[in-house]
Amino acid sequence: MKEQGCSTKYRTMRQCVAGGKERNFSMVAGLEAQDECRSAMDAVKQSPLYNCRCKRGMKKEKNCLRIYWGIYQTLQGNDFLEDSPYETMNSRLSEIFRLAPIISGEPAVTRENNCLNAAKACNLNDTCKKYRSAYISPCTSRVSTAEVCNKRKCHKALRQFFDKVPPKHSYGMLFCSCPAGDQSACSERRRQTIVPVCSYEDKEKPNCLSLQASCKTNYICRSRLADFFANCQSEPRSLSGCLKENYADCLLSYSGLIGTVMTPNYLRSPKISVVPYCDCSSSGNGKEECDKFTEFFTDNTCLRNAIHAFGNGTDVGVWQPMPPVQTTTSTTTPSKKAKDRSPNSLDAATNTNHLNTGDESLYHFCGSLQAQKLKSNISIDGVLCVDPQIDDPGISNSISRNSAGLLSSQAHLYSLLLLLAVLLHCTLAALYPAADL
């Protein structure tokens, strides 16, 4: 706004998209006005303003999102392709585990009611207790005989809870793990975390496409939904089931939906499944589109795996064996890679206390899961990254520099002997005819 040229183009663009998309404006505007609009939009796309993002829960979040969607108004289309207006977090579940004493790596079936334990832990934390009380009050206070609560105030307080409370406490309540056979105490407490009678349910269940359209009229709801679509995209060829291979970002995006008209909640079913309060009845010709929308919630492998991972104290790709350096292109199939690098292989891998020298792989300790991710992104061939904080300390200490140096020396000796054998064979073949041999 301080730069005259940029300010003028920005104001012109705002006028062009006011009340709808650019094509709506072009229907009533002359060719000269259309050219002016396109010129203004092209100018804004070349400015730093075009790449701006917002921070979730920031003081002026709604104003920031208004500017963002004002710029991207002409890019509306497939909702599953809308980019997130929020800054990339790149957080890791492992960072939460290091701070959360209530989280354990043991299977959920052997533990107590983790959802109850999470609620107790929240009450012992001043911040969590403050913001939990702040949403319990409006979400449970009846306004009149016809209104069970003030849903607007309830939603606002819920958004503040998940935006302000550290994930180790808010996630502990929302994504706590329950034994597979428990469909009563533990799972019901988890379902009641957001006080669904006020924040989730309504007098009538709307059509999901209508609910989505209503969401898109609100800057915060539209942004949170776009963020969820961007960070919880499933990918069947991915080891984690997530396109972005990041469970923490998916859970953050899901929790961001709570407190909007698109608030989802757990279904009462044997498996983990969530859905907004809507259905696809009366969808007409939009039935297929509606089913696709709801399935992104009810049958989302990425989200389900992320919730399981948090409850079990695991994360994406702790062990990532890389193939040895080769001169030819690898023909390993995706299914073989998934088998070798499955997150569930951590338990078996951490119990192994010897090196397999058959594949001549190199081994390297990663300082943290994030460091491991950065290393794997730059494709260091032949490196197996192991997080020393997750691996067994006794195992980690057993691999010393001396043993690594010995293995390296042996490998070089074997290579030298093989080379000498080949040279000797070739020399003998040259000196003596095949018949003499």
Evaluate if residue 27 carries a pLDDT over 50: no
Alpha-carbon distance of 231 to 416, in angstroms, equals 51
Copy the structure tokens of residue 59: 């003081």
| Residue 236: CA count within 13 A, CB half-sphere | 2
pLDDT digits (tens, 9 = 90+) for 99-136: 454 443 444 444 578 888 999 999 999 999 999 999 99
Residue for token digits 């307080």? 157
**Could you give the residue ranges of the DSSP H alpha helices within 232-381?**
247-257, 287-298, 301-312, 334-340, 346-350, 369-377
Higher per-residue confidence, 181 vs 293: 293
Alpha-carbon distance of 269 to 76, in angstroms, equals 35
pLDDT digits (tens, 9 = 90+) for 178-210: 876 665 788 899 999 999 999 999 999 999 999
Burial 75-88 (b: 16+ CB within 10 A, else e): eeeebeebebbbee
Banded model confidence at residue 257, pLDDT cuts 50, 70, 90: very high
- Mean pLDDT, to the nearest integer, of 23-41? 68
- Mean pLDDT, to the nearest integer, of 5-9? 86
Chain Cα centroid distance, residue 84? 12
What does the mean pLDDT of the chain come to? 74
Alpha-carbon distance of 203 to 213, in angstroms, equals 19
User: Biggest alpha carbon distance in the chain?
Assistant: 109
pLDDT digits (tens, 9 = 90+) for 41-94: 888 888 888 888 999 888 899 999 988 888 876 545 445 557 889 988 777 777
- Closest by CA to 388, choosing from 401, 375, 397, 400, is 397
Non-local (6+) Cβ contacts of 270 within 8 A are 180, 183
Higher per-residue confidence, 141 vs 425: 141
- DSSP-assigned states of every residue in 387-420: -TTTS-HHHHHHS-HHHHHHHHHHHHHHHHHHHH
pLDDT value at residue 33: 77
Evaluate if residue 401 carries a pLDDT over 60: no
Evaluate if residue 326 carries a pLDDT over 60: no
- Mean pLDDT, to the nearest integer, of 244-263? 94
pLDDT value at residue 113: 81
Alpha-carbon distance of 70 to 220, in angstroms, equals 13
- DSSP-assigned states of every residue in 107-149: -GGGS--HHHHHHHHHHTSHHHHHHHHHHHHHHH---SSS-SS
Evaluate if residue 386 carries a pLDDT over 70: no
- Mean pLDDT, to the nearest integer, of 318-330? 38
Copy the structure tokens of residue 200: 């989730």
pLDDT value at residue 412: 64
Evaluate if residue 254 carries a pLDDT over 90: yes
Evaluate if residue 409 carries a pLDDT over 50: yes
pLDDT value at residue 319: 33
What is the pTM for the complete model shown? 0.67
pLDDT value at residue 77: 45
Domains and CATH numbers, the chain: 91-101+111-312 (1.10.220.110)
Residue for token digits 């180790």? 168
pLDDT digits (tens, 9 = 90+) for 130-183: 999 999 999 999 988 888 999 999 999 999 999 999 998 999 999 998 876 665
pLDDT value at residue 179: 75
pLDDT value at residue 314: 76
